[in-house]
Amino acid sequence: MQTRDMASLLHPFTNLKILRETGPLVIERGQGVFVYGSDGKDYLEAMSGLWCTALGWGENELADTAAEQIRKLSFGHIFGGKSHEPGIALAEKLKEMAPMPVGKVFFANSGSEANDSQIKFMWYAANARGQKNRKKIIARDRAYHGVTLASASLTGLDAFHKSFDLPFDFTLRAECPHYYKNARDGESEEQYSARLAADLDTLIQREGPDTIAAMFVEAVMGAGGAMVPPKGYFEAITNVLDKYDIKLVDDEVICGFGRTGQPFGCQTFNYQPDSMSIAKALSSAYLPISAVLLSPELVEIIEEEAVRIGGLWHAFTYSAHPVAAAVALKTLEIYERRDTFGHVRKVAPLFLKRLKALIDHPLVGEANGVGLIGAIEMVADKKTKRNFEASKLVGTRCGQFCQDEGVIVRPLINDRIALCPPLIIQEAEINELFDRFERGLNKTLDWAKAEKLL
């Protein structure tokens, strides 16, 4: 299968040079928090696939729901005044669960599509208000909001721009709120947050408040490093945004549905958005589906403009796909019935204890997280926080060593290694995860010493 893969598949988010040397890991099946490779080994999936398989693998209730819906109504669209019960019921449930007032729900198929739609809706609403200059959008350095042309422009990672002629010039960039690396000597988390808010205010004044439509945020910055915000950060920046009537778009694609211990990340970090993007754990990744939750004010403005110009000309063929919607609705029912979010709060202390204990490892400069998401950052010098040279691919090597030890992790920028296990993980499995992870870290340390990187 490796040979067939290499001849036929173009792998995204992959170092293709290393892939040619190692070949892919072919996964054949999954059960619970484990997946099983064609090599006969089991792997503890410490990343929930791509931050998404919240209920783990092999959930029969979701399989049965999908099969039943396929037999009943395999496809139905919501164009031209058509509708169906799964889409209606899911929209109703999301309005009920949302931590903000929601007017209506727009469905898409991925986080990238949801955030791309958010950009279009923000521009659409600005035009409807007669604020045709309000087209700039603030996003943070190292943010990840997707890979479409517009959402990739918001993504604050250079790798997603190179050779794509991105980012587009509507994006304004604010500092990544990474206290470990960016705070000044002696600066408390609250002081750092206040400084970032003041810098944001300066950015807005320099660009002109009437040229800025929105700011996009993630509660925990996912692909940029799984970084937890400093204390007081969201309170500080939302005060600035409110002053200038700049909308806050909350990207809950990773944090939504229990990842931080609360239903949504904005509840964990005490801020209220104007609109929200959700995906991934919405269906536990069993089928592709995402959604945009819009405030009543935004819905009213968008619908009035649509009436004025003859329609809302933004859509996807598979928006509110009935099978995906039915599976998502069942997923939300399971979360509630099994108290999945309460389970996260129960096991998170052990997860965070084992994670933060890694700060004593010779390679680890930072180890931090919240709920069941976190990361370490490997450094060449713990005192100065100096990173390894990017060309040495220390994070990539660590990811491979961990895989050799039977745990799948996610290497990210600056040799950060992210962990984001399924929400159903039990305490014994958390200990197994970190036992395997530590063995992978120790192999990385031995390799780094042999390569004279330390």
Tell me if 345 sits within 8 A of 261, measured CB to CB.
Answer: yes
Same-fold call for 2-58+339-450 versus 63-337: no
State how far the Cα of 325 lies from the Cα of 85, in Å rounded to an integer: 9
* Helix or strand run (H / E) with residue 328: helix 322-337
How do residues 17-62 score in pLDDT, each as one tens digit? 888 888 899 999 999 999 999 999 999 999 999 999 999 999 999 9
For the segment(s) 63-337, the CATH number from 3.90.550.10, 3.40.630.30, 3.40.640.10, 2.40.30.40 is 3.40.640.10
How do residues 404-444 score in pLDDT, each as one tens digit? 999 999 999 999 999 999 999 999 999 999 999 999 999 99
* Helix or strand run (H / E) with residue 251: strand 247-251
For domain 2-58+339-450, the CATH class is alpha beta
State how far the Cα of 152 lies from the Cα of 147, in Å rounded to an integer: 4
Tell me whether strands 27-31 and 34-37 are parallel, antiparallel or unpaired: antiparallel
State how far the Cα of 252 lies from the Cα of 43, in Å rounded to an integer: 27
Domain boundaries, the chain: 2-58+339-450, 63-337
**Tally of CB atoms within 10 A around 425:** 24
> Per-residue confidence of the chain (454 residues) as pLDDT tens digits?
888 989 898 898 888 888 888 889 999 999 999 999 999 999 999 999 999 999 999 999 999 999 999 999 999 999 999 999 999 999 999 999 999 999 999 999 999 999 999 999 999 999 999 999 999 999 999 999 999 999 999 999 999 999 999 999 999 999 999 999 999 999 999 999 999 999 999 999 999 999 999 999 999 999 999 999 999 999 999 999 999 999 999 999 999 999 999 999 999 999 999 999 999 999 999 999 999 999 999 999 999 999 999 999 999 999 999 999 999 999 999 999 999 999 999 999 999 999 999 999 999 999 999 999 999 999 999 999 999 999 999 999 999 999 999 999 999 999 999 999 999 999 999 999 999 999 999 999 999 999 999 9
- Rounded-to-10 torsion of CA 14, 16, 17, 20: 110
What's the predicted TM-score (pTM) here?
0.96
Tell me if 318 sits within 8 A of 336, measured CB to CB.
Answer: no
**Of 144, 175, 173, nearest to 159 (Cα)?**
144
